Amino acid sequence: MRMKCLANKAMALNRQIHLKWWTKSRTKWVEMNDKNTRYFHRLVKYKQRINSVMEISVGGVCLNETKEIMGAFVDWYKELWGSEESDEVDWNALESLNWRKIPKNKHKEITSRFSEKEVKAALNSLGLGKAPGPDGYSLEFFLNFWEDKQ
């Protein structure tokens, strides 16, 4: 029990130390970011270096030219996702599957329009504080202006 307590205290202390250094680094960044300083340029060069691929090995061959590396990535993803001609549907394979049919009494329910009450219930069930949708409006916007929509 005592060891567990000590371990928890050590973890908490480690988190505090980490937070202290993280905060210091952010403070330094805020101070130096807008200035055209050596610190800023070193930081940019470092980030560029860690975010770039200098060489890769494909099939035992080392590639280090930019065009070769880009081509290797393109080829890898093409193989992963298949060719562009793979859009053809094998209807025979689909028909051989044992599909369950929707009962006729459910058909109308499934194909009918959503009621306003259903939409409001769905909106209320979602979590707040999320990024806006493709239209630029957040969930909070719709909830706050629901009555004005009428």
Model pLDDT for residues 9-59, shown as the tens digit of each residue? 777 777 777 777 767 666 666 666 556 677 777 777 888 888 888 888 888
Which pLDDT value is given to residue 33?
59
Q: What is the DSSP string of 35-65?
A: S--HHHHHHHHHHHHHTS---EEETTEEE-S
**Model confidence at 98: pLDDT above 80:** no
| pTM, full prediction | 0.33
Cα Rg of the chain (Å, integer):
28
Domain positions in the chain: 1-51, 53-82, 113-150
